[in-house]
């Protein structure tokens, strides 16, 4: 990082975070961290050292009502299919791919590359970005124990003890392969917390099974205590990051402190977890319900973490503040307003790490109805969606009565979220809507997408975001670079360059500014107009997006300033889109079905539909998975000012 970038970083973040980051690195390099987190073996630890009183039946906190209910198998029986996959050694990875392990699971091996992380090295000595070993998330995924939720669901729907037996065997194998503070699975406090939440769900779900023996429970309690100690001693680092890590780690601490009050550290962990959860709700969830990380998937992760702890507090007679409850309600409403009604999906917007921390249903990973339904029910004791597979979460979190709750559906409307910089446009035509981003950043920039626009019609994402693919892809550097770039969004690019610089793995500079000039709804027409200063005050880009009652979407881009510039418009279209006509100042594209895109320019243009290239033609809906799409690239060698008008319409609809 050069002096200019360092100065800019201090201006945005302040001196404090920089000093703390330097201090953290010094502590790690000095060896103090290893003394704080000694590398031990499970045999060296005794249960008596972590408990303050006997673990009798009444010593545990209350959990969700996880009773065996075979009467719901016909309704939610796909959980059994998922559990049978695990019994056969097939583990899901990011809800798209799966891996079959022949024999014992190698918890330290990347199953896609074969690279292995050392199990004997202290976690402080392991850098998480290793070109030799590749993407660490491919190693972490199985150790989140997300597959355990499928086993519990299948057990609760069938009473079949095989599912409990497999969980406990895998749990014990994991402990044997992951000694305290050894190896990659102790690096992240968030990974520790999510693993603990899954273990708790499994313990209380399998509590009535003969496979849940006293010895296994003792091993679980000891492991939870060690994990909680790891999280609590380092949660300050997560708080400094200003991301979901602090929320999930605090959720893990609150969970262990609430459910296992006989642990010596339980009161302290519960207090710490509560304090962080309260403070982060105000700090990270904006007053309009949008979220600091500018990602719909991270937004869902945050909501599910709060859903878990708020419900856990309810059943244990505890309560969080009204302020937190209101931020939670607003954050739920935010997702609802950005949702596509026919599919349950949201724009593929922002970093997507493949997380779904409460996989309690058989819906697709991209379907947000389960999370929104459960969160809305927690706040209102009403459902937003009619009966469907997205109700399964309600059964486990709230009990059978929640399935029969009244449905109070609400129409989604054109909505502005000014703090977060999101604007939804919905006109008179049903199931046609758009979202546009126009934001002056107050926190770290997540991606380079000034004035990005998404367009949906009848469940089809006509103009879409390409996604983020992988956070670290040393084996595919061109792909990693593309998905992190401005080229992966529906926006305007000037002079073949990004307006922002990636100065570290997750930090862009400078923070762009933008202004909203109009957001109006009248007489069946909704219109947004905003201006981005990402390329500087001397090169403003103004974008106007309108939807009319007939279903026509018009995007007008005005580039002000002076001089000669290379201008490119990018629109990411469904696979199969094709050029119909290219003239001097006009291009026509068949998007899908009867939908057409027509772009006109005040100056001559060139157009191509790019597919499956290093710098275009890809989208990623699931972590680590990419598929071809069609990217419309419209290029203009322009003398500013320059104006383009893009219309997306359905033939015969007007």
Domains of the chain (ranges; CATH) run: 1-34 (no CATH), 66-233 (1.50.10.100), 250-412 (1.50.10.100), 415-650 (2.70.98.70)
Phi and psi torsions of 554, nearest 5°: -120, 130
pLDDT of residue 1: 63
Q: Which pair of structure tokens corresponds to residue 407?
A: 């449905």
Buried b (16+ CB within 10 A) or exposed e, 64-97: bebeebeebeeebebbbebbbebeeeebbbbbbb
pLDDT (tens digit per residue) in 53-76? 999 889 999 999 999 999 999 999
Q: For Cα atoms 350, 355, 356, give the angle at the middle one, nearest 5 degrees.
A: 120
- How many other CB atoms are found less than 10 A from the CB of residue 52? 12
Q: Tell whether the model's pLDDT for residue 102 goes beyond 90.
A: no
pLDDT of residue 148: 99
pLDDT of residue 654: 60
Q: Tell whether the model's pLDDT for residue 206 goes beyond 80.
A: yes
Angstrom distance (rounded) from CA 420 to CA 366: 22
Q: Which pair of structure tokens corresponds to residue 600?
A: 């006109």
Helix axes 244-259, 214-232, angle to 10 degrees: 140
Bigger pLDDT: 654 vs 15: 15
Q: Tell whether the model's pLDDT for residue 202 goes beyond 80.
A: yes
Q: What is the mean pLDDT of the chain?
A: 95
Choose the weakest-confidence range: 53-62, 213-222, 247-256: 53-62
Q: What average pLDDT does this structure show over 630-639?
A: 96
DSSP collapsed to 3 states, 92-140: EECCCEEEECCCCCCCCECCCCCCECCCCCEHHHCCCEECCCEECHHHH
pLDDT of residue 504: 75
Full DSSP string of 274-338: HHHHHHHHHHHB-TTS-BTT--HHHHHHHHHHHHHHHHHHHHTT----HHHHHHHHHHHHHHHHT
Q: Tell whether the model's pLDDT for residue 128 goes beyond 90.
A: no
What whole-number percentage of the chain has pLDDT above 70? 98
Q: Tell whether the model's pLDDT for residue 15 goes beyond 90.
A: no
Label the pairing between strands 415-417 and 422-426: antiparallel
Q: For Cα atoms 102, 170, 225, give the angle at the middle one, nearest 5 degrees.
A: 150
- In the chain, how long is the greatest CA-to-CA distance? 82
pLDDT (tens digit per residue) in 288-347? 999 999 999 999 999 999 999 999 999 999 999 999 999 999 999 999 999 999 999 999
Q: Tell whether the model's pLDDT for residue 636 goes beyond 70.
A: yes
- How many other CB atoms are found less than 10 A from the CB of residue 517? 12
For residue 127, give every residue at least 6 positions away whose Cβ sits within 8 Å of its Cβ, in sequence order, or none: none
Bigger pLDDT: 174 vs 443: 174
Label the pairing between strands 595-601 and 507-509: unpaired
Q: Tell whether the model's pLDDT for residue 18 goes beyond 70.
A: no
Q: Tell whether the model's pLDDT for residue 23 goes beyond 80.
A: no
Long-range contacts: 209-215, Cβ < 8 Å, 24+? Answer: 209/155, 209/161, 209/164, 209/165, 210/161, 211/161, 211/164, 211/165, 211/167, 211/168, 212/164, 212/168, 213/168
Confidence of residue 442 (pLDDT cuts 50, 70, 90): confident
Q: Tell whether the model's pLDDT for residue 491 goes beyond 90.
A: yes
Helical (H) or strand (E) element with 568? strand 564-573
């Amino acid at each position: 990082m050069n002096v200019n970038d360092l100065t800019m970083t201090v201006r945005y973040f302040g001196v404090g975070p920089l000093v703390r980051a330097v201090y953290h690195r010094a502590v790690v390099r000095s060896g103090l961290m290893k003394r704080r987190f000694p590398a031990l073996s499970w045999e060296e630890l005794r249960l008596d050292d972590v408990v303050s009183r006997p673990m009798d039946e009444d010593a545990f906190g209350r959990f969700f009502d996880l009773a065996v209910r075979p009467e719901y198998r016909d309704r939610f029986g796909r959980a059994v299919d998922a559990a049978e996959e695990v019994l056969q050694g097939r583990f899901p990875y990011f809800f798209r791919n799966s891996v079959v392990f022949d024999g014992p699971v190698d918890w330290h091996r990347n199953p896609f590359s074969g690279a292995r992380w050392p199990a004997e090295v202290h976690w402080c000595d392991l850098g998480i970005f290793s070109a030799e070993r590749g993407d660490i998330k491919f190693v972490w995924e199985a150790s989140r124990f997300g597959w355990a939720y499928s086993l519990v669901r299948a057990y609760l729907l069938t009473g079949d003890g095989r599912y409990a037996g497999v969980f406990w065997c895998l749990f014990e194998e994991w402990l044997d392969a992951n000694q305290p503070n050894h190896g990659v699975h102790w690096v992240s406090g968030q990974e520790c917390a999510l693993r603990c939440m899954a273990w708790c769900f499994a313990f209380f779900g399998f509590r009535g099974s003969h496979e849940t023996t006293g010895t296994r429970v003792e091993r679980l309690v000891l492991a939870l205590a060690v994990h909680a100690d790891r999280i609590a001693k380092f949660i300050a680092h997560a708080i400094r990051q200003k991301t979901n890590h602090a929320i999930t780690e605090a959720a893990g601490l609150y969970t262990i402190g609430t459910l296992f009050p006989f642990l010596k550290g339980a009161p302290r962990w519960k207090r710490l977890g509560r304090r962080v959860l309260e403070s982060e709700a105000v700090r990270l969830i904006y007053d309009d319900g949008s979220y600091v990380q500018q990602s719909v998937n991270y937004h869902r992760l945050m909501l599910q973490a709060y859903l878990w702890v708020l419900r856990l507090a309810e059943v244990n007679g505890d309560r969080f503040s009204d302020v937190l409850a209101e931020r939670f309600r607003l954050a739920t409403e935010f997702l609802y307003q950005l949702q596509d009604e026919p599919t349950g999906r949201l724009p593929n917007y922002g970093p997507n790490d493949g997380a779904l921390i409460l996989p309690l249903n058989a819906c697709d990973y991209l379907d947000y109805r389960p999370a929104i339904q459960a969160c809305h029910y927690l706040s209102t004791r009403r459902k937003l969606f009619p009966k469907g597979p997205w109700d399964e979460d309600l059964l486990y979190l709230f009990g059978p009565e929640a399935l029969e709750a009244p449905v109070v559906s609400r129409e989604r409307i054109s909505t502005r979220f000014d703090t977060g910089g999101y604007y939804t446009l919905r006109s008179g035509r049903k199931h046609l809507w758009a979202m546009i981003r126009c934001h002056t950043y107050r926190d770290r920039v997540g991606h380079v997408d000034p004035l990005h626009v998404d367009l949906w019609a009848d469940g089809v994402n006509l103009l879409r975001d390409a996604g983020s693919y992988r956070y670290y892809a040393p084996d595919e550097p061109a792909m990693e670079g593309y998905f992190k770039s401005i080229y992966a969004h529906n926006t305007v690019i000037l002079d073949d360059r990004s307006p922002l610089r990636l100065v570290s793995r997750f930090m862009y500079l400078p923070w762009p500014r933008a202004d909203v000039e109009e957001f109006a709804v009248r007489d069946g027409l909704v219109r947004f107009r905003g201006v981005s200063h990402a390329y500087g005050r001397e090169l403003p880009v103004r974008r106007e997006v309108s939807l009319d009652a007939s279903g026509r979407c018009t995007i007008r881009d005005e580039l002000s300033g002076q001089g000669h510039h290379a201008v490119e418009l990018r629109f990411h279209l469904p696979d199969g889109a094709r050029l119909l006509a290219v003239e001097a100042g006009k291009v026509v594209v068949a998007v899908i079905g009867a939908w057409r895109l027509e772009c006109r320019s005040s100056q001559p243009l060139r157009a191509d539909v790019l597919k499956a290239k290093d710098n275009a033609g890809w989208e990623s809906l699931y972590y680590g998975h990419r598929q071809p799409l069609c990217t419309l690239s419209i290029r203009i060698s322009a003398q500013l000012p320059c104006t383009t008008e893009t219309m997306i319409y359905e033939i015969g609809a007007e």
